[in-house]
Amino acid sequence: MDSGSVPARRRDTPYGERFTLFAEVLWIGLLVAAGSLLVVTWPAAMAAGCAEVRRCVPDGPSSGTARRFLATWRAALRGGTAMGALGLLALAFLAADLRLAASAGDLPGFGLLALVVAGAAGAVIVVQVRVAAHWSLTGRWSRPGRDLAGTAMLGGAVLISVVCVWQLMLLAPLVAGVLALAAVAVDRRPARSQGRRHHG
């Protein structure tokens, strides 16, 4: 048999491919958390994290993840910092509105207002995560195409992440990597769907 026709053998790992991918995603989460320490740099950190998730291989963690992440993070800072500042201003505005309403005393419909503000804050985060995932693919800070179903799924991932961090703050660095993985999966989903329709 021709040796060229033999598929490359994947590297054996103690706990299987899924565990090694999970371990690498957690490591990426720690890097994203470190890159987000200045707050306004968190979109750039998420974009670099999504870029690293795209480089994940099924046969185990790849080498040089931290070095590549740093280089990508620096590249994403151009435009990413401004985006982070705009997102932070939007969240601060929503928080100020809610605080003002709370200081007004027994305001009718305050519970509904709080839900609307929380939803708007979540929408800001979801949009920024989606744009960061799109940057990891194109290298440009631009909004991806319309994908309401994908945005809704990512919104669910953001909600679960917020609940996990609210329950235990120590999970924040780990959740960041899982959120990057979810963003990349959602970003790839339309391409897979189009491919199935094309072949059908």
Hey, what amino acid is at 141? W
Whether residue 147 is contained in a domain is answered as yes
Digit-coded pLDDT (tens) for 154-165: 999 999 998 988
Please, what is the average pLDDT of the chain?
A: 82
Parent domain of 163: 13-192
Report how far residue 33's alpha carbon sits from residue 169's, in angstroms, rounded to the nearest whole number: 12
Tell whether 135 is covered by a domain: yes
From residue 23, alpha-carbon distances to 3, 76, 128 in Å are 33, 24, 25
In-domain check, residue 199 = no
pLDDT digits (tens, 9 = 90+) for 68-100: 999 999 999 999 999 999 999 999 999 998 888
1, part of any domain: no
Read off the pLDDT of each residue in 140-164 and give the average, rounded to a whole number.
Answer: 89
- Mean predicted confidence (pLDDT) in 177-196: 76
Number of structural domains in the chain: 1
Give the predicted TM-score (pTM) of the model: 0.81
Cα separation, 71 vs 75, whole angstroms = 6
